[in-house]
Amino acid sequence: MERFVETLIDGIATGSIYGALALALVLIYRSTGIVNFAQGELAMFSTFIAWGLVEAGIPLGLAILLTLAVSLVGGMVIERVLIRPVEGGQELTLVTVTLGLFILVNGLARWIWGSTNRGFPSLFPDGSANLVGIGVAWESLGLVAVLLGVVGVLWLVFQHTTLGLAMRAAAVDPAASRLVGIPVGRMLMLGWGFAAVCGALAGVLVAPRLFLDPNLMGPVIIYSFAAATLGGFDSPFGAVLGGWIIGVAEALAGGYVDFIGQDLKILVPLGVILAVLLIRPQGLFGSPEVARA
């Protein structure tokens, strides 16, 4: 029983990693309607910036705040410079640009920082809290708490501020938004900026656990795609919940079902997703597409 609960907690902790990056994916999708394949690499790049600042002697908290600010600006600049020229074209052209960005950013990080592993300091204390007899690492608790906090803030911004409303409008119907005076271009930039901030946060949260190298997010992003797909691509809460479900399903499969084993446990979340999507094609919390004839 104790092992079961521990496995469950492992799953949630790992799932939080997937969810954190999935949040960034959802943000871009909500604001620009595309999937950004380079999201993980941008997050990795941000994390290296934070690492560089810490190495330069800046305290961790401040370094992270600076990194978030740099990421916000960086995300906006990337949207303006790299994405805007193909904005409004074929969707697949945009997706291919993000693929190119993926390769480029990864190569750039390898060129600047090399491919070696680096330790990244954790925001949270070592050791574990005792929750009804079971030790849960502070790091895991912290991860979950931050993630929930971010979802809360996003929900507030998107549902209860004019800015959020304008961002949603710009994504859903840019032409009409322009007519009512929403600066659509600026909203798209903001969407990329916010996504980059989320990604950077995901990066600094997971780097202490995964160790920092240019391949930090390569494996994670696949699971984050899965999390976002499961949760519904336009729902931040769905992304986080999707991450948890996938993390737990995977941990249980790897931990208990010997036939599946560690090597094929990736098929379990895939099965879950397929089952959910066959019933709800828009994911658990996504809004259904309305077909236009």
Partner 1 sequence: MSRTRIAWIVLLVLAILLPFFFSSYRVTQFTLVLAYAVAALGLNLLLGYSGQISLGHGAFFALGAYVTAILVAKSGWPHLATIPVAAAICAAAGFAVGIPALRLHGLYLALVTLGLAVATPQLIKRFDGLTGGTQGLAAPSPSVPGFLDFLADDQWLYLLNLAILVPMFVLAAGLVRGRVGRALVTVRDNPIAAKTFGVDLAAYKTRAFAVSAAYAGVAGSMFTITVGFVAPESFGFALSFSFLAAVVVGGLATVAGAIFGALFIEFVPVYAADVNEALAAVIYGGVLILFMYVLPTGVVGLARRVRLRPKQEGERDAVVVDRGVAGGGAGERVRAQ
Partner 2 sequence: MALLAAVLASGCGRSDSDGGVGANAGGGEAKAAPGITDRSIKLGGSYPFSGPASAYASIALGAQARFKAENAKGGVDGRKIEFVTLDDAYEPQRAITNVRRLVEQDQVFALFNTLGTPNNLAIWDYANQKQVPHVYVATGASAWGADIAAHPYTTGWQPDYVSEATAYAEYLKAEKPGAKVAALFQNDGFGSDLLTGFKKALEGSDIEVIAEESYEVTDPTITSQMRKLAASKADTFLNITTPKFSAQAIAAIAKSDWKPLHILNSVGASKKLVLAPVGLENAEGIVSMTYVKDPEDPQWDSDPAMQEYKAGIAEHEPKADPQDTFTTYGWTAASTMIEALKAMKEPTREALMESVRTMDLELPMLLPGVKVVMNGEQDTYPIQAVQIMRFEDGNWKLQGDVIQAGGVE
Q: Is 169 in the site for partner 1 (CB under 8 A)?
A: no
Residue with tokens 């236009």: 292
| Among the residue ranges 75-83, 87-95, 108-116, 181-189, the one whose residues contact partner 2 (CB under 8 A) | 108-116
- Which residues, numbered 99-128, are part of the site for partner 1 (CB under 8 A)? 99-108, 110-111
Question: Could you tell me if residue 89 is left (phi over 0), alpha (psi between -120 and 50 degrees) or otherwise beta?
Answer: beta
Spatial CA neighbour of 205 closest among 119, 129, 122, 109: 122
Report the run of H or E that residue 287 belongs to, with start and end: none
The letter for the amino acid at 275 is A
Q: Which of 263, 278, 289, 293 binds partner 2 (CB under 8 A)?
A: 263
- Does 291 engage in binding with partner 1 (CB under 8 A)? yes
CA–CA distance, 224 with 185 (Å, rounded to integer)? 27
Residues facing residue 135 across a β-bridge: 130
9 vs 226, beta carbon nearer partner 1: 226
Is 149 a binder of partner 1 (CB under 8 A)?
A: no
Q: Considering only 63-71, 78-86, 215-223, 283-291, which stretch makes contact with partner 2 by CB under 8 A?
A: 215-223
Minimum CB–partner distance for residue 157 and partner 2 (Å):
28
Minimum distance of partner 2 from residue 196's CB (angstroms)? 20
Q: Identify the residue whose tokens are 């999708």.
A: 29
Nearest to 196 by CA among 18, 15, 25, 14: 25
- Between 1 and 291, whose beta carbon lies closer to partner 1? 291
Q: According to the binding rule CB under 8 A, does residue 125 interact with partner 2?
A: no
Q: Which stretch binds partner 2 (CB under 8 A): 22-30, 91-99, 192-200, 218-226?
A: 218-226
- Mark 4-43 with x for binding to partner 2 (rule: CB under 8 A) and - for no binding: --xx--xx-xx--xx-------------------------
**Which residue from 38, 30, 130, 112 is spatially nearest to 75, judged by alpha carbons?**
38
Task: Please compute, for residue 247, the number of CA atoms within 13 A of its CA located in the half-sphere on the CB side.
Answer: 27
Strands (E), the chain: 128-131, 134-137
- When asked if residue 33 is in the footprint of partner 1 (CB under 8 A), the reply is yes
Q: Give the integer Cα–Cα distance in Å for 203 and 146.
A: 13
Residues that bind partner 1 (CB under 8 A): 29, 33, 35, 37, 82, 85-93, 95-97, 99-108, 110-111, 173-175, 178, 184, 222, 225-226, 228-229, 233, 263-264, 266-267, 269-270, 273-274, 277-278, 281-283, 289, 291-293
